[in-house]
Amino acid sequence: MGLCKDTAMILSTRTFGESDKIVRFFSLNEGRLTGIAKGGKKSQKRFTNTLEPFNCVRIEFFEKATASMVRIENADIEESNSGLEVDLKKVCIASFFSEFVDRMTREKERNEALFETLRTVVLQTKRVELNYSDILYYELQMLDHLGYLPNFVRCVHCGIELAEGERLGFSKEKGGIVCLACSRFIPHRRYPQGFIPQLASYSPDKGRTTEAFERMGRDILEDFVSFHLDVRLKSYRLLKKVAG
């Protein structure tokens, strides 16, 4: 393909050899890619503090159809990770969403909405103190963009649409809510009336939620992601300890 220019969020980096860097990044137009930055560890001209996790950069790279990695030629910072390093909770939140995108996407699969959500949540993490409800909101947004959003409207077994007051049971095995009749033979967890509709429509603009809402929301998404999508994130374990 030759030289490509794109905007990207840096997901993770590691040293390769004495002077190179292996960089995983999620770009606006190309999706998730892995690249090698020759001299990336020592270069003071092309890569000074640019290829660091959580930076948003303008990146230039060469891509070959037969190569497993692209070759990163240059990167310039658009939005730096400065401000995250002052707070362990902020680092944990940014790490969680970066790993989430890394683990939940395929190589070279473009997803512009997911890219914008990742960039937004990293920026918000730097600027304000996010609570667990905010984390739940952005996680639901990402699941929606990936096509994995749990079904919060219809019974996942019989397909009947449920009134908000009837949305009480959630099956992690089936990936959504179950009606009263189907709940008799489908494993599920029952939640207080109003919780599931509140979770499905939650937005940070609606203000502070209760600790009970945050705890139940964390449990329902943790069960869904770990069981239904078979993904367990290392960064999530630390986030739970730090965020409470």
Number of structural domains found in the chain? 2
Mutual orientation of helices 211-223 and 132-146 as an angle, nearest 10°?
Answer: 30
Same domain flag for 118 and 45: no
Same domain flag for 103 and 197: yes
Mutual orientation of helices 88-104 and 112-127 as an angle, nearest 10°?
Answer: 170
More confident position, 100 or 43: 100
Tokens standing for 192?
């207080």
Same domain flag for 104 and 195: yes
More confident position, 67 or 14: 14
Is residue 25 within 8 A of residue 59, CB to CB? The reply is: yes
Which among 56, 79, 102 is the end of a domain? 79
Q: Which amino acid is at 222?
A: E
Phi, psi of 11 (to 5 degrees): -90, -45
Instruction: Indicate whether 228 pLDDT > 70.
Output: yes
Is residue 150 within 8 A of residue 176, CB to CB? The reply is: yes
Alpha-carbon torsion angle 164, 165, 169, 174, nearest 10: -20
Residue 233, in any domain of the structure: yes
Distance CA 24, CA 66 (A): 18
Residue 120, in any domain of the structure: yes
Same domain flag for 146 and 238: yes
DSSP helix, strand, coil percent of the chain (3-state; round to 5): 40, 25, 40
Same domain flag for 44 and 139: no
Residue 203, in any domain of the structure: yes
Going through 2-80 in order, the beta strands assigned E by DSSP cover 2-16, 20-27, 31-37, 56-63, 70-79
* CATH number for the domain harbouring residue 47: 2.40.50.140
pLDDT for the residue 2: 78
Which among 79, 111, 130 is the end of a domain? 79
Same domain flag for 204 and 231: yes
pLDDT band at 39 (very low <50, low <70, confident <90, very high): confident
CA distance from start to end of the chain: 47
Instruction: Indicate whether 106 pLDDT > 90.
Output: yes
Rounded mean pLDDT, 183-198: 96
pLDDT band at 185 (very low <50, low <70, confident <90, very high): very high
Residue 175, in any domain of the structure: no
In three-state secondary structure terms, 17 is coil
Residue 210, in any domain of the structure: yes
pLDDT for the residue 242: 81
Distance CA 21, CA 177 (A): 45
Is residue 192 within 8 A of residue 213, CB to CB? The reply is: no
Residue 209, in any domain of the structure: yes
Same domain flag for 134 and 192: yes
The sign of the torsion formed by the CA atoms of 170, 172, 175, 180 equals negative
Rounded mean pLDDT, 167-185: 96
Distance CA 215, CA 220 (A): 9
When mean pLDDT is compared across 11-15, 140-144, 208-212, the lowest value belongs to: 208-212
pLDDT for the residue 206: 80
Distance CA 73, CA 183 (A): 56
Distance CA 169, CA 180 (A): 8
Same domain flag for 66 and 92: no
Residue 166, in any domain of the structure: no
Which among 79, 103, 127 is the end of a domain? 79
Same domain flag for 94 and 213: yes
Distance CA 147, CA 3 (A): 31
Instruction: Indicate whether 22 pLDDT > 60.
Output: yes
Residue 114, in any domain of the structure: yes
Same domain flag for 6 and 100: no
Same domain flag for 41 and 119: no
Q: What is the DSSP pairing of strand 20-27 with strand 70-79?
A: unpaired
Same domain flag for 138 and 215: yes
> Structural domain of residue 12, as residue ranges?
2-79
pLDDT band at 105 (very low <50, low <70, confident <90, very high): very high
pTM given for the model: 0.92
